[in-house]
Amino acid sequence: MTRRITRPVEALARDALALQDGGFETPLPSPGVEFRETTVLRHALENTREVLSRQKVERDEAYERLREVKESLALRIEERTQELERANASLRESQAALAEREALYAGVFKFSADGILVFTLSPQGSVVVEACNPAVQHLTGKSTVAMVGRPLSDLLPPDQRPILKARALECLTSGHGMAYEQSYAFP
């Protein structure tokens, strides 16, 4: 009689331990004859096994989706990194070309026999000298420090101011350079 009672209980204990160890993919075997109480407990364990089995499948599917997203993200990061590396290489090439051009223009500016003035329009509307080359300094007898930052009108003879100011404004408005040639003595 004792064995008849203990066998179903022992089988339930083994089944519970199997669930604890992750053995919930296969249905729990029936030990044969059971009492009403052990049958209720076996059904509860079977329901628990089914819930755990579904949760494991859902978890495995979620892990698989997460792995796919991770791989996709890693691929996108690698592609973006390569794009940025190409853009950086292009930028370095452009910067090198720009540096060469700047050196060329700086040489032309510095060594030109023609006087070159670079000017801008101030917020007040006056034409202000931004830079000048050594030829301007030689032609005018004024240093760069004496000219840069000053209104162009301060540097010209009174009779030349309206003409050159009009030409400078025309240049600034159009965005194109201008050639202006005049012989006179600077003040």
Q: 164 lies in which domain range?
A: 112-174
> Does a structural domain hold residue 179?
no
* pLDDT tens, position by position, 83-111: 999 999 999 999 999 999 999 989 998 99
> Does a structural domain hold residue 131?
yes
* pLDDT tens, position by position, 120-142: 878 887 788 899 999 988 888 88
- The pTM of the full predicted model, rounded to 2 decimals, is 0.46
> Does a structural domain hold residue 146?
yes
Number of domains the chain is built from:
2
pLDDT number for residue 15: 76
> Does a structural domain hold residue 48?
yes
> Does a structural domain hold residue 99?
no
CA distances from 90 to 82, 83, 93 (A): 12, 11, 5
> Does a structural domain hold residue 8?
yes
Taking the chain, what is the end-to-end CA distance rounded to the nearest angstrom?
Answer: 131
> Does a structural domain hold residue 107?
no
pLDDT of 31 > 90? The answer is no
> Does a structural domain hold residue 136?
yes
pLDDT number for residue 173: 80
The strand pairing partners of 132, in sequence order, are 117
**80 versus 140: which is more confidently predicted?**
80
pLDDT number for residue 99: 95
pLDDT number for residue 81: 97
Domain with residue 165: its CATH number is 3.30.450.20
**89 versus 172: which is more confidently predicted?**
89
Instruction: Give the list of residues 6+ apart from residue 169 with CB closer than 8 angstroms, or none.
Output: 121, 127
Is the domain of 6 the same as that of 62?
yes
Best mean pLDDT range from 8-22, 66-80, 117-131: 66-80
